[in-house]
Amino acid sequence: MRLANRLLLSSLAVILALTAAVALILDGQLHRRIAVENNDELVREAKFVATQWTRSVQPLAFAHTAGQSLGHRVTLIRRDGVVLGDSQFDSAGVAGLQNHETRPEVVVALQGGIGSSRRRSPSEGDDEVYVAVPAQLGVARVSQSTASADAIFNRALGDVAFAGAAAAVIALLLAAVFARTVSRPVIELRDVARAIAGGDLRQRPSLSAPGEIGDLASALHSMSEQLGARLKGLQDDEALVSAVVESLNEGVLAVSARRSVLRINTAARAMLGIHEQTPFSVDHIPRERALHSALDSALGGVPADGDAVEISGRSISVAARPLPDGGVVLALTDLTRTRRLEAVRRDFVANVSHELRTPLTVIGGFAETLGDPTLPEADRMRFASLIQSNTARMQRIVDELLDLSRIESGGWVPRPVNVDVAEIAAEAIASSADVARANEVVTEAQVPQDARWVYADRTALRQVIVNLVENAVRHTAQGTVTVFAQRDDSGYTWVGVRDSGVGIAPAHLPRIFERFYRADSARSRESGGTGLGLAIVKHLVEAHGGQVRAESILGRGTTVSASFPPAVPAPR
């Protein structure tokens, strides 16, 4: 129920209660007082009549005269109960009245007292109050109908009811005005409080009133300001925490004590393959024993560190920390790249050692043999030639390793210019002509006019094409090697080499750009390859913003190509 209605009903209830209380008071005290005062008045009148009733007056005439003067019924009764005069009757009526000797008030008066009684009058037909006093000649009685006293009482009750009704109307009007005055600001404060509770902290109470309502409005305004400031601070902190968590390369999960994931960053989603929106149950986490064991241990209050699990081909380190409220924070570190780099480093060291050990063994063995003074001159010259060729091979390996290291570390930056692909292709073909003739390989260039020019570092482009041509010629016997160029839909130019050689098995194709990786190790070493050419090609092309790709069919040939930006128009 609204405040205004409560005030109105309360006011009405108070008025009705007061009116009822006044009516009860009137019904008790006033009615009794009126009765007492009427009785006293009748006693005085009866005594007055008794003193005036003498033998010299005629009783019937005196009763009528006294009744008219007093306004009440006057009855004169002889000592034997016979009525001698009555102001309400003539002589015939008086003669027909009953004997009053047994009437209660007459009995008392005949005994010398003042008699009083109330009863229904048989002659008048209504309730009357009778007062009788002893007189010199008998009993003087004065009576009055109770209808007059009741009329006075009823008029008093009517006045009280009217006053109560008037007071109720006035009170209701005042209560309505007061209720509107009080309820309107209270309603406004209620609406503002509801808006604030709903999250709209821009709402402010507009009123400025004295007293408690004004104090409440001021307090609500201050509370809104403080809540807004604190919420803004919490939002800023939440945004900062979210930004920090999302920027981490490590996966982070916050799990509640009820085993519900409340927060998970992008890295953790990628590691665990989770796409559900938070919050969600930990049952959606991959069911790896070590992962759930770390979670259960932390939920029990015991931290867990460094447990590694394999999830979807990733090696992930799991660390779990319990929270004061019973929750858990899981930290996931993807060790896949680290493990791969460690494997690459081990392979690199092993490959370098293996690649250098063979020529060093040859050089050491032949150098020791050359120390024999009895060695024939022809063998001496052949051994010296082998030492020289193996020294050149080691030098080439070292130079290519240095080039590769310089490119990877950023020590080499391409200086692109517009370069003629056809010219570079011709140079690469010429540099491999001797090996091509020895292997009976036909080399050619197919460079259309729309793909002839690229925007690249000239030296780098030459090294890319030369490496590709040398690889193709080395692995092709009695076939063809073609240098080609073509423009794709994005505007980039693909420069590559196509051969009809032995081809590469599908299992080896994804790894041919790794350093020292050989699909056929024995054949590569016999032909003088270092295993670094394609790795250098890949890094040189990526330094230009391009990419490399390889396609091969075993026994039918291989195609390796690289993309370069198109030539830029020359300034006018």
pLDDT tens profile 492-507: 999 999 998 888 888 8
Phi, psi of 549, rounded to the nearest 5 degrees:
-150, 155
Return the sign of the alpha-carbon dihedral for residues 273, 275, 276, 278.
Answer: positive
Specify the pLDDT at position 351. Answer: 66
154 CB neighbour count, 10 Å cutoff: 12
The reported pLDDT for the residue numbered 289 is: 79
Lowest mean pLDDT among 267-271, 310-314, 468-472: 310-314
| Tokens read off for 287 | 């069911």
Q: What does the block give as tokens for 361?
A: 């063994």
CATH architecture type of domain 248-330: 2-Layer Sandwich (3.30)
Whole-number pLDDT of residue 208:
60
Q: Give the other-Cβ count within 10 Å of 202's Cβ.
A: 9
Distance CA 165, CA 162 (A): 5
- Residue 422 confidence (pLDDT) above 50: yes
pTM of the model: 0.44
Q: What is the pLDDT of residues 276-304, one digit of tens each?
A: 888 888 888 888 777 888 888 888 888 88
When the candidates are 2.40.30.260, 3.30.565.10, 1.10.287.130, 3.50.50.60, the CATH number that belongs to 339-407 is: 1.10.287.130
Q: Round the average pLDDT of the chain to a whole number and report it.
A: 80
Segment among 83-92, 114-123, 324-333 with least mean pLDDT: 114-123
Q: Are 397 and 389 in contact (CB under 8 A)?
A: no
- From the candidate CATH numbers 3.30.450.20, 3.30.590.10, 3.40.50.300, 3.40.50.720, the one assigned to the domain spanning 3-152: 3.30.450.20
Which residues partner with 251 through β-bridges? 332
Among 64-78, 101-115, 180-194, which is the least confidently predicted range? 180-194
Domain ranges of the chain: 3-152, 248-330, 339-407, 414-564
* Contact yes or no for 534/560 (Cβ under 8 A): yes
Classified as helix, coil or strand, 62 is helix
Angle 20-23-24 (CA atoms, 0-180°, nearest 5)? 85
pLDDT at 493: 92
CA 275-279-283 angle, to 5 degrees, is: 70
420 pLDDT band, cuts 50/70/90, is: very high
State mean pLDDT over 332-357.
Answer: 72
Percentage of the chain lying above the pLDDT 90 cut: 9
The C-alpha atoms of residue 327 and residue 298 are separated, in whole angstroms, by 8
Residue count (the chain): 572
Identity of the residue numbered 196:
I
CATH code of the domain made up of 414-564: 3.30.565.10
At 524 the pLDDT is: 47
Closest CA to 73 of 107, 101, 108, 97: 97
Is 80 exceeded by the pLDDT of residue 565? yes
- Is beta strand 251-255 parallel, antiparallel or unpaired with respect to 314-322? unpaired
**How much is the pLDDT for 343?**
72
Do residues 203 and 220 make contact, with C-beta atoms less than 8 angstroms apart? no
Alpha-carbon dihedral of residues 470, 473, 475, 477, nearest 10 degrees?
Answer: -170
* pLDDT for 374 beyond 60: yes
| Arithmetic mean of pLDDT, 538-554 | 88
Q: Tell which wins on pLDDT, 347 or 480.
A: 480
CA atoms within 13 A on the CB side of 408: 10
Average pLDDT of the segment spanning 118-136: 79
DSSP alpha helices (H): ranges in 457-500? 458-474
Strand order across the beta sheet in which 127-134 lies: 83-86, 73-77, 139-145, 127-134, 115-120
Q: List b or e across 168-199, with b for residues whose CB sees 16 or more CB atoms inside 10 angstroms.
A: beebbeebeeebeebbebbebbeebbeebeee
Question: Which of the residue ranges 77-86, 144-153, 318-327, 336-345 would you say has the lowest mean pLDDT?
Answer: 144-153
Q: Give the mean model confidence (pLDDT) for residues 4-18.
A: 70
Residues 6+ apart with CB under 8 A from 269: 251, 275
Which pLDDT belongs to residue 518?
64
The pLDDT, as a whole number, for residue 482 is 92
In degrees, rounded to 5, the angle at the alpha carbon of residue 499 between the alpha carbons of residues 498 and 500 is: 140
Q: What is the DSSP letter of 77?
A: E
| pLDDT of residue 401 exceeding 90 | no
Residue 562's pLDDT is 92
pLDDT in tens, 197-249: 777 766 666 656 666 767 777 777 777 778 778 878 887 887 887 777 777 77
Residue 563: its pLDDT value, please? Answer: 92
- Strands 442-446 and 417-420, by their bridges, are unpaired
Over 50: is that where the pLDDT of 572 sits? no
Q: Do domains 248-330 and 339-407 have the same CATH topology?
A: no
Alpha-carbon distance of 53 to 56, in angstroms, equals: 8
Residue written as token pair 């005030």: 7
